[in-house]
Structure 1
Amino acid sequence: MMTNNSLKISLLTLILTGSVSLNVLAQSSRLQYADKQYELANYRLAADEYAKSYAVKQDYATARKAAQSLDAIYAYSESYGWWKKAVSYAGEATKEDYAALVKAGYRSVQNYNPTDDLRGSTYGAGDFEEFSAPKATQVAYRVYELKAMEGVNSNSSDYSMTGAKSGVQYFASNRGEGGQAKKSGVRFDAKGSKFSRNYFKSDGKNYYGIYAKAVGSDAKKVTVEGFELYHLADPQPMANGKMIFTATPNKLKKRDQVIYPGVFYGTFDAASNTVKDVKAFPYNQTNAFAVISPRVDEEQKRVYFSSNRPGGQGGYDLYYVTYDAELKFSEPVNLGSGINSPANERDGFRYGNEFYFASDRKGGFGGLDVYTALLEGNAFGTVSNMGQPINSVADDFGFIKYGATEAYLGSDRVGGIGFDDLYMVAWADRSLKIMVVDAAGNSIKAGTNLQLLEGTKSTDITSVGDKELVNMTKKSSTYTFVASRPGYFTQKLTATLANDQEEIILKMAEIPYGIEVYQAVIYYDFDKDFLRELSKEKLNEIMSFMAKHPELNLVIESHTDSRASDKYNQKLSERRAKVVSKYLEENGIRGERVSSAWFSESRLVNDCGDGVPCPPSKHQQNRRSELKLVAFPDQSKSYELPSGATPADFASREFVIKWFEKK
């Protein structure tokens, strides 16, 4: 017979069991839903669902899936935290997980160092060389600073700015009501699979649309008629009244279908701010691959675009088509391996002979970086990362240039007010020329090693051209320029680059190796080798001079008079040389700066030789050590110009002697 208490316990057990079963079922259902969204490339939605699931039950697989979803939309600042959670499951984390963690760290954390993240694992930073600190080549562009575009940027995502043609600029934005947008999938992940018109409104934001911004007016949304299109971006107005753009068409035939974005174009009526008679780009295939980021080159009648269509180098590649007056397009041409990589390339744009594009290839500063290459006909030169401040650890893309002083950039770098922000590139009309000349004014720059010092940082600029150097310096900042060349004094010049046009002249003087700049004599008592007080005073003067001038060495040559045998006098002159060396060393002059020789009675200064009767005063003249200060004694060594000297002071050997005499 069941008691009331037993009945209560049984009912409670049933309720608890049912609750647990429902929770497990809900958890399983949510994970299945998240997995499905991941398969459909709805990465943001998948990441949010994985996060909710992880909050209920924490495990390695869910953390890893959340991180992978965020990586897929380049949300590295978010995926970094999830990868840290994933690798905390030491028994399950793989090397690939640690590689993804390091990659996300380099792509989202300023001055990232992977040491802490790898501590406790079996891996070191050297195991992940493909994800490392950027080593971007500086290029010849006079970038001054970036300015956020006030009055254009919102708390949402704003990017893909055009030039101010006819006083109006066009850009893409998902601005609308609600909080700040998350990364929602309009770049390479913009596959546009949607189940309702409100698909991307889960964070309170609208679909991306095209906006027009006239000077002094608020941005107005451009209406596109004829197609049911979503995520309109990359607007490109044309001189013939057309507008080309990226969009995702509503072609869903079933719930699980994936629709990719494509390129569309139509007639743009600026008065009504409307695009009419919209047509699809003939090379769209929205059920199979994406076609995005069109850029129009009206001079060469080309449209550059990016696509993950089959047959490319990998990921998204850059292509172009030519067009005629009726907008009939040629077959697409892949830009080739000189531009495209196994990673993703987009936003191809030509200005003069300069070609710009964005890529997330290895070796950059962040997820997407801006690159450039010179274009000669259809051939591209070496691809170079544009460096900072154009690029950052965040995504930097959509670079477009309309003149020597007009260029724009999209970026989600730290400091913006929205997810993506638009920046204007302020170009400084600066020039910086470095000249290296000898004492006669002849150029000797070729073969001279040049260094640029900024604080404790030293940069080799030997092979860097004057234009490239501008991009490595900032106006109003102070730098030290160092020139070194075999056989010449190392020259340093510290300068504050206060002007837009600066000329740095490094004048170098040849080193007068082995020049004797000073002589002195000290004397000894008969048959003695100790130093007199006057001799010590003279040596003290010499030591003081040597302390001030490290380029000086001392040569000691010691002698005797002719009284006593040659053998005895040889030993006596040696002792006299050594007593001078010992005194100098005891007072701080290093032994390598002193050389000694002894000559017995072989170098008498008078005719008081063996057997010649001479007064004591004449014998005293021979009991001596001759002291010679020699400047720049080591011909294998480079020396700096002595403190207080100028290259003109060393234009000739006579000038050198006079300069040291003054000192």
Structure 2
Amino acid sequence: MKTKNLIYTVLVFCVCFIGTAQKTVLNKAEKQYDQYAYIDAISIYEKVAENGYKDEKMFQRLGNAYYFNAELTKALKWYDALFLLNSQQEAEYYYRYAQALKSTGEYAKSDKMLASFYEKTKLDSRGILFDKNKNYLDQIKLNSGRFEIADAGINSNQSDYGSTISNNKLFFASARDTGIVSKKTFRWTNKSFTNLFVAEMKADGSLEDPIRFERKINSKFNESTPVFTKDGKTMYFTRNNFLGGKKGKDDRRITLLKLYKADLVNNKWTNIKELPFNSDQYSVAHPVLSLDETKLYFASDMPGTLGQSDLFSVVINSDGTYGEPKNLGPAINTEGRETFPFIAGDNELYFASDGRPGLGGLDIFVAKIKDDSSFDKVQNIGEPVNTRFDDFAFIIDKDTRKGFFSSNKEGGKGSDDIYKFTETRKLNCEKKLSGIITDLKTDEVLADTKVMLFDSNFQQIAETTTANDGSYNFLVNCNNMYHVRALKTDYETVEKKINIEPTGDKTALDIKLDKQIREVAVGTDLAKTLEIPIIYFDLDKYFIRSDADFELEKVLAVLKQYPAMKIDVRSHTDSRQTEKYNMVLSNRRAKATIKWFIGKGIAASRLTGQGYGESKLVNKCSDDVTCTEQEHQLNRRSEFVIVSMK
């Protein structure tokens, strides 16, 4: 049994199958399923399915059975069948289907399922996070390529995972064969229970052959994820609900997980006690200590959990008692699975989650713990640590930047394997963002320009003014997105977005500003000066569209600013239709435009105008010449030419 699965699987689904000759077989499968004996259930369900039997609930359970065992590619087969049979499913199945699709790299289809999931739920944080981060694959790509990874050298053909380091030794959980004649297996996976093992770390970073940890700690059920105090005298670890030879069960007669504490006395681990916030009714697992050892972080599905499992913390009082467990909240937890926390030496929280936009299965994320115990931005640590499969149990040394993580990715020796890594570049690297502000028309450098820096949520971070050479500089973090805004008197404000790539020493962003105050004179076409779109009439119509009011208001403002100004309204068409038709149409358009200005209070004596039909084409698109619609549009234009300023 892989205890990494137990902590986030507490869902029991009721099923009612149509009565058939196979009902007895299916009832047996349902019973196995409801007792978390998923491997047995899979065998029975698949035999029925192979006989051509199709049932929506059966496909759900087959998909779920593989999904909860982290075999997403196998789950995909049955979720495909489920949605082919009936595409209208409960929201959670859209999410599981999306995760399963990622296991084969079908990200586009997965994103469609996530979009449907969001539409069905709206308030589920998993859908909200996806909707707000639809470019998550681009962000993960920016965070990737920072690790060199290799097999840790201690893996077996069974499950090995969940490592921790103490006194220059690596401790981990393994379901490997220990040579015991009578081996217990967990019905969920039909695999051996896990025990704790330990391997000495050599000077070159390699590991000695692992040996089984003390019999006093290892029971006949699951043990995993130990953590030790700095003095090495106290250990917290995960175990099934088993103490003093007695096995505890919840109301469904399921043996869940609990946290235990042990003391090192005369080089022997003893005084094994369960922690007071455990319960027979929910699981508590995967402990880790804060840097000052005054808090214990862990994963649980206890009451108050936002999703299938959340991360919690509990204060360890000076007298050895404990406070009330506190949910880390929505800054970290989702309606999905958050598990395997780790606090690095630089006070960063690493954890595994399938509730945030990721590559598939459990991905590893990190967030800085602030001084007030709140959390900074959560980030996916990227490939190659994260993959399309379950990646979890990440630990790292803050000085050497070396560590270990666990994964069931392809190419491993067992169902889960431990990998070692070296981080070659920190996630939150800093770079210089610089640029030059110039005039759009003249390329003249613009000194004393105010430049403002905003984060992706438009929260201002910094502000500066350009030097005499028009340059500016900011210090920014790699793999983040920023907005840079440039403001200068008599110029239009410009704002640009930029993603900070981790490569190179600096990032350049030059900005050109266009003058807000533009010179006009006799002969100036206000349509070009004010950047009025070419078309504001529908094809073959001379009625001014309602959306054209905004554009004509620009010309109106100029006419009001200069009461003596007179303009000539010139309307043009493309070459389609006859010359006579186009001339009549353009004249009507010119008159309609003049009428609009008069209706806004401009004296008729200041306005002249006429239509030119197709007589002044700006390109080759005359009669009998094949042109695109876009090319024809260039000829359908209006001009507002200044004929007098006095």
Provide TM-score, normalisation by structure 2. Answer: 0.58
Distance 1:148 1:126, change over 3 A: same
Distance 1:349 1:116, change over 3 A: closer
Superposition pairs of residues 19-30 of structure 1, within 5 angstroms: 30=25
The worse-fitting range, judged by mean Cα deviation, of 109-118 and 393-402 is 109-118
1:242-267: CA deviation from partner (whole Å, max 9, x where unpaired): 33221223634899942222223335
Q: Secondary structure at the match of 1:394?
A: coil
State the shift of 1:590 in Å: 7.0
Residue 259 (structure 2) pairs with residue 263 (structure 1)? yes
The worse-fitting range, judged by mean Cα deviation, of 280-289 and 583-592 is 583-592
Hey, what does 1:470 align to over in structure 2? 478
1:25-58: CA deviation from partner (whole Å, max 9, x where unpaired): 9x65643443222222233333333223433462
Superposition pairs of residues 522-601 of structure 1, within 5 angstroms: 582=616
Hey, what does 1:172 align to over in structure 2? 173
Identify the match of residue 247 of structure 1 among 217, 239, 243: 239
Hey, what does 2:543 align to over in structure 1? none
- Give me the identity figure in percent: 19
One-letter amino acid of the counterpart of residue 48, structure 1: S
Residue 141 (structure 2) pairs with residue 146 (structure 1)? no
1:395-433: CA deviation from partner (whole Å, max 9, x where unpaired): 333233431534543333456554334453614154322
One-letter amino acid of the counterpart of residue 161, structure 2: Y
Hey, what does 2:425 align to over in structure 1? 428
Q: Secondary structure at the match of 1:230?
A: coil
State the shift of 1:462 in Å: 9.7
8 Å CA contact retained: 1:364, 1:385? no
Structure 1 unaligned blocks of 5 or more: 1-23, 179-195, 451-458, 474-480, 520-573, 600-663
State the shift of 1:496 in Å: 9.5
Identify the match of residue 208 of structure 1 among 161, 174, 194: 194
Hey, what does 2:469 align to over in structure 1? none
Residue 56 (structure 2) pairs with residue 63 (structure 1)? no
Identify the match of residue 392 of structure 2 among 392, 397, 400: 397
Q: Secondary structure at the match of 1:380?
A: coil
Distance 1:444 1:100, change over 3 A: closer
Distance 1:482 1:251, change over 3 A: same
State the shift of 1:279 in Å: 0.4
CA distance in 2, matches of 1:460, 1:402: 32
Distance 1:87 1:45, change over 3 A: same
Hey, what does 2:284 align to over in structure 1? 291
1:491-544: CA deviation from partner (whole Å, max 9, x where unpaired): 999999764x3253636566597579xx9xxxxxxxxxxxxxxxxxxxxxxxxx
Identify the match of residue 350 of structure 2 among 353, 356, 371: 356
Hey, what does 1:487 align to over in structure 2? 492
Distance 1:221 1:268, change over 3 A: farther
One-letter amino acid of the counterpart of residue 409, structure 1: F
Superposition pairs of residues 404-423 of structure 1, within 5 angstroms: 405-414=401-410, 416=412, 418-423=414-419
8 Å CA contact retained: 1:209, 1:221? no
Residue 204 (structure 2) pairs with residue 218 (structure 1)? no
Q: Secondary structure at the match of 1:82?
A: helix
One-letter amino acid of the counterpart of residue 246, structure 2: K
Q: Secondary structure at the match of 1:403?
A: coil
The worse-fitting range, judged by mean Cα deviation, of 107-116 and 343-352 is 107-116
Hey, what does 1:506 align to over in structure 2? 510
CA distance in 2, matches of 1:376, 1:247: 31
Q: Secondary structure at the match of 1:162?
A: strand
Q: Secondary structure at the match of 1:54?
A: helix
8 Å CA contact retained: 2:40, 2:187? no
8 Å CA contact retained: 1:84, 1:101? no
Residue 300 (structure 2) pairs with residue 303 (structure 1)? no
Hey, what does 2:163 align to over in structure 1? 161
Residue 326 (structure 2) pairs with residue 334 (structure 1)? yes
8 Å CA contact retained: 1:161, 1:408? yes
Residue 90 (structure 2) pairs with residue 79 (structure 1)? no
One-letter amino acid of the counterpart of residue 247, structure 1: R
Distance 1:266 1:103, change over 3 A: same
CA distance in 2, matches of 1:419, 1:318: 25
One-letter amino acid of the counterpart of residue 243, structure 1: M
8 Å CA contact retained: 1:173, 1:211? yes
8 Å CA contact retained: 2:164, 2:172? yes
Identify the match of residue 37 of structure 1 among 32, 36, 48: 32
Q: Secondary structure at the match of 1:276?
A: strand
Distance 1:509 1:294, change over 3 A: same
Aligned length: 482
One-letter amino acid of the counterpart of residue 351, structure 2: F
CA distance in 2, matches of 1:111, 1:369: 17
Distance 1:494 1:171, change over 3 A: closer
8 Å CA contact retained: 1:243, 1:267? yes
8 Å CA contact retained: 1:437, 1:445? no
CA distance in 1, matches of 2:131, 2:146: 20
CA distance in 2, matches of 1:124, 1:336: 25
State the shift of 1:484 in Å: 7.7
Higher Cα Rg: structure 1 or 2?
Answer: 1
Structure 2 unaligned blocks of 5 or more: 1-19, 438-444, 463-473, 524-607, 622-630
Distance 1:69 1:111, change over 3 A: closer
Superposition pairs of residues 427-446 of structure 1, within 5 angstroms: 427-428=424-425, 430-438=429-437, 439=445, 442=448, 444-446=450-452
One-letter amino acid of the counterpart of residue 308, structure 1: D
Identify the match of residue 362 of structure 2 among 363, 368, 371: 368
CA distance in 1, matches of 2:77, 2:323: 44
Q: Secondary structure at the match of 1:288?
A: coil
Q: Secondary structure at the match of 2:510?
A: strand
1:76-134: CA deviation from partner (whole Å, max 9, x where unpaired): 332221122234445x975568636634445534343449999xxxx899557667657
1:620-640: CA deviation from partner (whole Å, max 9, x where unpaired): xxxxxxxxxxxxxxxxxxxxx
Q: Secondary structure at the match of 1:409?
A: strand
1:187-218: CA deviation from partner (whole Å, max 9, x where unpaired): xxxxxxxxx84324997854323333313333
8 Å CA contact retained: 1:80, 1:105? yes
One-letter amino acid of the counterpart of residue 282, structure 1: L
Q: Secondary structure at the match of 2:50?
A: helix
Q: Secondary structure at the match of 2:451?
A: coil
Q: Secondary structure at the match of 2:163?
A: coil
CA distance in 1, matches of 2:157, 2:475: 37
One-letter amino acid of the counterpart of residue 160, structure 2: D
CA distance in 2, matches of 1:497, 1:311: 39
Residue 222 (structure 2) pairs with residue 231 (structure 1)? yes
Distance 1:281 1:431, change over 3 A: same
1:439-487: CA deviation from partner (whole Å, max 9, x where unpaired): 3565643179x9xxxxxxxx999979988751269xxxxxxx9988763
Q: Secondary structure at the match of 1:31?
A: helix
1:617-658: CA deviation from partner (whole Å, max 9, x where unpaired): xxxxxxxxxxxxxxxxxxxxxxxxxxxxxxxxxxxxxxxxxx
Q: Secondary structure at the match of 1:445?
A: strand
One-letter amino acid of the counterpart of residue 452, structure 2: A
CA RMSD across the alignment = 5.4
